[in-house]
Amino acid sequence: MNSFEKELKISTEYITLDAALKFSNVVSTGGEAKMLIASGQVRVNGEICLQRGKKLRPGDSFEVSGESFVIV
């Protein structure tokens, strides 16, 4: 984890990408999350991800709108 990443703590095995965007307050609705992901503005582990149901597990990271998050 670098100093610019924010930790997103989960208590389950994984969180889906669209839920992670809402949980981290990057977006306020699932529709917003869907549009951000579909437009290629979200990177998961450094690569553009177009799957809103992508499972993120502890250790995975995602970036959007200049913000970086790591799942813990």
User: What integer is the mean pLDDT of 49-72?
Assistant: 96
For the chain, the structural domain boundaries read: 5-71
User: What topology does CATH give the domain 5-71?
Assistant: 3.10.290
Handedness of CA 26, 29, 32, 38 (dihedral sign): positive
Is pLDDT above 80 for 3? no
| Separation CA 21–CA 63 (nearest Å) | 10
pLDDT in tens, 23-54: 999 999 999 999 999 999 999 999 999 999 99
Measured on CA atoms in the order 45, 46, 47, 52, is the torsion positive or negative? positive
